[in-house]
Amino acid sequence: MAEFPRLIDPSTIPAVLTDELRQQLSSVSTATLTHQLQMRGIRSTFLAGLQPTHPERRLVGRARTLRYVAVREDVTNLAINGRTAQKQVVETVEPGDVVVMEARGVPDAGTIGDIFALRVQARGGAGVVTDGALRDTPAIVALDLPVYHLSSHASTYGRHHMPYSVDDAITCAGVFVEAGDVVVGDAEGAVVIPHALVAEVARDAVVQEEIEEFAIERVAAGEPTDGLFPLSDERRPDYEAWRAVRDRGSA
């Protein structure tokens, strides 16, 4: 097979996550992150319809992308460095990367199986996301690796897919994803944060959840939501006093 003509240099992929950002993003919900992105005018960031294999675990990592296209039998020159695109992305995963796949929402052809998922884990990958099917699902569930998927199906990808490109921009579960974007997952699902916005979204998401913690405490005590959710200017001094007491207690 001929070499693939559009091989992106992995060293050019943004790497914006720091330990502090990972901690911040691990502490907030995907609902909060989605809200923060909506506040910035970005409405399609939540990967709709995908289920986690480990809802009890958090996922935070840098997106590495894999695009599947529909099978056309006369197309055979798709190798990347002598590998399929699927193997190329798996074998170039770096610690903290999340393999994100565009599989066109096809539910009845596998996009990754247990051996490649195990290889992602062995290379230090943070997780896998596909808007297609897993195969060998029970074995993948047994791995210590968060995986978000549309369905399970025992067939190989060749039933409907050709692995076409690595680290191109893709659309996964209705969301535009670039290599280097940040993927955050929890029990509700996964969200994609544009890499240029990660620091400000993480910062503001932490503040949002602090305000919501205050509101939850007051509503649980019997107060109405008026002025608490959203927080009004009149109630902000109450919030600031509550936060000061809380911060002293955790010091």
pLDDT of residue 7: 64
Kindly tell me if the per-residue pLDDT of 184 is higher than 60: yes
**Which pLDDT band holds residue 158 (cuts at 50, 70, 90)?**
very high
Share of the chain above pLDDT 70, in %: 97
Question: Cβ atoms within 10 A of the Cβ of 38, count?
Answer: 13
pLDDT of residue 81: 80
pLDDT of residue 160: 95
Kindly tell me if the per-residue pLDDT of 228 is higher than 90: yes
Contact (Cβ atoms closer than 8 angstroms) between residue 131 and residue 104: yes
Kindly tell me if the per-residue pLDDT of 60 is higher than 80: yes
Give pLDDT tens digits for 86-131: 999 999 999 999 999 999 999 999 999 999 999 999 999 999 999 9
Kindly tell me if the per-residue pLDDT of 251 is higher than 70: no
Full-prediction pTM beyond 0.85? yes
Map out the domains of the chain with their CATH numbers: 13-195 (3.50.30.40), 201-250 (no CATH)
From the list 161, 202, 247, the residue with the least C-alpha distance to 27 is 202
pLDDT of residue 5: 42
User: Average of pLDDT values for 129-137?
Assistant: 98
Kindly tell me if the per-residue pLDDT of 13 is higher than 80: yes
Kindly tell me if the per-residue pLDDT of 194 is higher than 90: yes
Rounded Cα distance, 103 and 86, in Å: 12
Kindly tell me if the per-residue pLDDT of 242 is higher than 90: yes
Rounded Cα distance, 39 and 193, in Å: 13
| Alpha-helical segments (H) within the chain | 19-26, 30-39, 85-91, 114-122, 137-141, 198-220, 236-250
Rounded Cα distance, 195 and 231, in Å: 29
Share of the chain above pLDDT 90, in %: 90
User: Average of pLDDT values for 208-229?
Assistant: 96
